[in-house]
Structure 1
Amino acid sequence: MSRPPWIVAALTALAILLTPAVVLGTASQAYASEGGDPALIKKLDETNRAYIDAQNVLTASLARQTTLKRQQDELEPRYAELRDDTQSMSIAAYQNGGGLRSAATLLDSGTPGVFADRVSTLEVIARGNAEQLKQVTKAREELTRTKATIDAEVAKQQASMAVMTKQKAELEEALAQSKNAVDASTTWSGNTTGKAAEPAPRRADGSWPAESCGTADPTTKGCLTPRTLHALQQVQKAGFGHFVSCWRPPGEPYEHPKGRACDFAADAKDFGGVATGASKEYGTQLAAWLVKNAQALGVMYVIWFKQIWTPAGGWHSYGSGQGDPSSDHTNHVHMSIY
């Protein structure tokens, strides 16, 4: 029994939709199937977050020290001037009737009117000395507090540098264990002349606020943190307009399920094969731009073309792929955000 034409057409369309190759093609366009060492991914998240926290404290401390040093430079000559003026006033007051001579001068007054005039003169001198001493004391206290605060900031700076050194060593060890050795030969310097990123919002002390995956991801049906969305928007404002995919469902590697990562395709429309020519140059420029603007955006690490960059360790070779363009990151640039 022959089927009506409309049924045949419907069955044919359904068969096409269910063809594995087509489903795979749609999925590959949605996101790149990345590999990765789970232990390394966990270590990358932990060490880079700790490193960036310490880096933020260090930056804020250095800025604070600059302000305090400027205050100190203003206070020291002011204190010295007040101190010298006070000494001069004391000497002059003594020479003109201070100390025991003041009492003798009063006793030597010939009339009540002269006595009263001399008392008034001594009161004026005393009040002047008292006010001058008050100003000297205040300036000295301000200077002492400023110096103590500078010492505290220097101690904070040293502590932050110690944390950064520790995290750098731990990251180097984790990368080495995952066969991601230091590779100074390739650093993807690229063309970094693109528009500089607008800094993401920070707390008053310069630290990054904690954020959850609660903002709609314009590249998927998932969510992003506000800082990740900001980074994505800044990338696009800088002129990088190729295909991008950010959020992924739980179970996927890296920070994608947390809404803290994006994959930027080297090709214009989707995640293709190994990038070459203009596509590779695009990826190289984007990777370099992300590194250049990492501190402004809160970038934890960048992966591109078998290379990984972190603020703690710089560029390393990336050996955690499985030999395909997605896991080797030769068809897309991966960005993880704090």
Structure 2
Amino acid sequence: MNSGRKITEGGVLLALYSVLLLMTIYLPIIGSILFFFLPIPFILMALKHSTAWTFGFLFIAGVLTLIFGTMFAIPLTLLMGLTGITIGYCLKREQPFIMLFVNTVLVVLGMILAVLGGTSWIFKINPIDEFFTIVDTSMVKSTEILERFGQTIPKERIEDVNNMFEMMNTLLPTLLVLVSAILVILFFLVSQPIIKRFSTMKIQWPSFRELQLPKSLLWYYLLTMVLTLVVNPEKTSFMYLALVNLMFILQILILIQGYSFVFYFAHVKKWSKIIPYLVLAGSLVLPIVQSIVRILGIIDLGFSFRQSIAKKKE
């Protein structure tokens, strides 16, 4: 591709990114949707051009962000640029989906941590502590307002809410990983049609019902459970923080394995496609259903249920 065409393509994509960025910043409702389209210009650049050219595109996008947006939008451009470049780079090298997903999640997570760290360093405030302080203040004021109108909130309810926010604070590392993973999945879903339309590449989504996590995951889960019961660390210790976050992540992974098994079983038995989705929805509402799905995940990891089902089918 000659330089003139490169410059023309780059100019068009820069204009597209600038418009998307301005609408994201200044039109909150529409912007919340357009936010997920922001990595697309960088993905297309990374797919069609060299890495050096793509990072040059990111640099110019940063300059335009300063001119047309605000200084506070620079982290957003860096996040979207590095995310898009990572997706385009991995796709161009035809990396497996799991590598594409993990690499992109690490980039998004790294940028989130960098923004939090930069905010703490520059403004001398901890955004996370500020958030929980605001929530705590709002709770106190809401309680006072209700008491003025003659209504009282049971102490048990207040304690439950406080315990919930305390647990959120403890699980913050895991929550940041989950937020990063969800953002990446949404970026993939939004960018997939555009990538297929303007390039020969596409994101190869694996079949969810064929998902098979490593069997060693079950041993990690059992070991973490035993350590939690035996060690019983104090809530303020690093050991407690590590075990709680590890247990939460492992429970989510086993739950995902259980969902995968439900979809696989429904497919093999040729049930209606709506049934596994009903199970998924029910597990989000009813804890008993979620527990059953998690048990199915443990059984699927430990006893190779799928092989026996496949043999019976034959």
Common topology (TM > 0.5):
no
TM bin, normalised by shorter chain, reads under 0.3
The structure carrying a bigger strand percent of its residues is 1
TM-score if structure 2 supplies the norm length?
0.19
